Each structure stands twice: as structure tokens, then as C-alpha cells.
Amino acid sequence: MCEISATEVELELGTMDQVELQQVQWLWEPYIPFGKITIIQGDPGEGKTTLALRLAAACSTGEPLPGVEPMEPFNVIYQSAEDGLGDTIKPRLMDAGANQSRIWYVKEDKKVLTLVDNRIEEAICEANARLMILDPIQGYLDSEVDMNRANEVRDVLRQVGAVAERTGCAIVLIGHLNKANGISSKYRGLGSIDFRAVARSVLLVGSLRNDPNIRVMVHDKSSLLPKGKSLAFGLGDEDGFRWLDGYEDVTADSLLCGTSSDSKIAMAEELIRELLSDGEEVPSEEIFNRAKELGIGMRTVNTAKKNIPEIKSRRSGNHWCWRMEA
């Protein structure tokens, strides 16, 4: 027999046959689920807020996100603790083509909003919002919460997760990375690792060292489905924001170094040299297909090709051929 100590809360038990099966609903499969917490993190200035604003704009208009069908537009709550609404957030939403009437925010003139504030759930219900973005996480922690203490962080995020589940709203938290170098991405989040543990999905955003106008979003953690492929978007040039192909093989840890994986590039170089070793022309499509079988993306193959000056390209009909000069 167990010794039972007195508790303040009456014990209630259930059995699994009483639990109703539920299917996860997706805002952006497999990256952002409804009714759960998602974290978007990265170093300052690397594109986290840009991605979040583009996400909010797409949801407000029904514009399709990469890899999914167009959706019915819905209301979004965008809460920023760092940028001004009138001089920064609204102009960037306008640039993203957002339906401003569907983008809501909680007024904080009388009281600063925190993650455990009951106004979060009230706002979601009142605005009928299906997405709430809080940028950054640190700006919405109560002053008494130590973000490096696991027990305090876990309790706060458990409450936020419960709000997401009750309302069915996707709650996206934007987070900065710490300054540590040379360690796994899972330990670069600012504060307790419990931020990452409680989130059902974690997206890492960063730029490539060899092309700072390109940002890559890596699916760093996924608790509900296999991780989605890495996605890239262009910033900072005359073409403005645009989604890009060819960066599927970028990993979280390689992105933190600012470039694609050196080992993948080396593998691609070895493959190219092998396929072109006899001096004959080979269709580039054949090279890309062979590389894909090895898990190497088109972008990495093209990078490897630039590293081999002996390779020459020639257009033949509707396709390109590569040849290795002696």
C-alpha cells in the first residue's frame, strides 16, 4: 500500500478509452500547427520578423504559403515589443500586401502584456484570431520570471500552450539566439532549453555567408510530423522578398555557420568529378538527379561546380551539358 499525503487538489483519474481522438490541424504543414506553440528563432537581423510579418500577411489575405494550398483568409494578432506599430510594423505589413483590417494587436497603454496575461486568450476569442505572433519572447516574460530557470519557463509555456489548445489558435513566439558558437542549434536558444522542449515546432532562420541577401528557414524541431524541407527567401536587393528554390539541404547547424554544409559541397564535387572523369559531355539534369539520390540539393551542386574551374557548360537543344576540360 502507498502512503498518501494530503493535497490541496482533489485527485481525478481517467482511462485512455475515455479520450476522444483528435487530428492535428495545420496552418502551414508541417511547419506551423493550429492549437500549438511554434518558435521562430535566429540571430538579430537575420529575417525572423520578416518571415513572421510575411506569414501574418499571407494569413490575412489567403495567399498560399510554399508547399500548401491557398487558404481562406483569417484574423491574426501581431504583438511587437521591439518595433513601433506606426513607423515599422504597419509599413512592413503594407509592403507584404496584408489586409490590415485582419491584423489585430492588444493595446498596452495601461498595462504591459505578458505570456500569462489573461488578455491573450481574451484577445484571441474577441478577434476570432487563428494565429497570434509575439515578437520577441523575451519582451513578454514577466519581470519576475527568470528565463534561464527551467521550472519557471516550463510553467509559463504550459499556460500558453493550454491557451493555444483551448482556442485552436496557432501561437508563434519569436526568439533570439544566444551568442555561443560551435554548439548544436538546440542549445543556441536564448534562455532555458525548455522553450524548445515545450514548442511542438521550432523554425530557425539565418543568412548564408556567401550570399547575405538569402535567408534560409530550417525546420529544426518537429514533434508532430517528419521535419519539412528547408526553405529560402530573398531579401535586401531590388527584387524584394521572394521565395527561392534549391536550398533544401541546408541544415540547422550548418546555417548557424552562415553557409551550406561543407561536407555536402565536398560530396558534390567528388560526384561531379566522377561523372565527368572520361571527358565526355553529361547532361546537367543527370548530374542533379544523381546528386538528389545522395541527398544533395541542386544549389549545392551548382556551388560545387563553381569550385571546379575545369568544368565548362554548353547548351544542347533544350538542356545544358557539362564537360571536364583536361
pLDDT (0 to 100) of residue 185: 52
Q: Tell me phi and psi for residue 128, to 5 degrees.
A: 55, 45
Query: Do 203 and 290 fall into the same domain?
Result: no
> Strand, helix or coil at 114?
coil
Question: What's the number of domains the chain is made of?
Answer: 2
pLDDT (0 to 100) of residue 174: 94
Residue 300: how many CB atoms within 10 A of its CB? 24
The Cα 89–Cα 83 span in angstroms is 7
Helices (H), 96-191: 118-127, 150-167
Inform me whether the pLDDT recorded for 259 exceeds 80. Answer: no
The Cα 326–Cα 278 span in angstroms is 10
pLDDT in tens, 189-241: 555 566 777 899 999 999 887 777 889 999 999 999 999 999 999 987 677 89
CATH number at residue 202: 3.40.50.300
Inform me whether the pLDDT recorded for 261 exceeds 90. Answer: no
Place of cell 519557463: 153
pLDDT in tens, 81-139: 988 999 999 999 999 999 999 999 999 999 999 999 999 999 999 999 999 999 988 88
What confidence category does residue 183 fall into, taking pLDDT thresholds of 50, 70 and 90?
very low
The Cα 150–Cα 57 span in angstroms is 34
Element (H, E) at 262: helix 262-275
Q: What is the pTM of this model?
A: 0.76
Query: Do 72 and 91 fall into the same domain?
Result: yes
Residue 94: how many CB atoms within 10 A of its CB? 11
Give the domain range for residue 56.
25-255
What confidence category does residue 260 fall into, taking pLDDT thresholds of 50, 70 and 90?
very low
Inform me whether the pLDDT recorded for 188 exceeds 60. Answer: no
Place of cell 491573450: 120
Helices (H), 81-217: 90-95, 118-127, 150-167, 194-198
Distances (CA, A) of 64 to 59, 61, 72, 133, 213: 8, 9, 10, 19, 23
- Of 207, 234, 255, the position where a domain reaches its end is 255
Calculate mean pLDDT across residues 13-25. Answer: 92
Strands (E) in 43-123, as ranges, are 75-80, 103-104
Residue 290 in any domain: the answer is yes
Query: Do 273 and 160 fall into the same domain?
Result: no
- Of 255, 276, 309, the position where a domain reaches its end is 255
Inform me whether the pLDDT recorded for 1 exceeds 60. Answer: no
- Of 220, 238, 255, the position where a domain reaches its end is 255
Q: What is the largest CA-CA distance in the chain?
A: 84
What confidence category does residue 254 fall into, taking pLDDT thresholds of 50, 70 and 90?
confident
CATH number at residue 285: 1.10.10
pLDDT (0 to 100) of residue 318: 84
Which cell is 265 given? Answer: 559541397
Residue 292 in any domain: the answer is yes
Query: Do 196 and 311 fall into the same domain?
Result: no
The Cα 266–Cα 196 span in angstroms is 32
Inform me whether the pLDDT recorded for 249 exceeds 50. Answer: yes
Query: Do 146 and 287 fall into the same domain?
Result: no
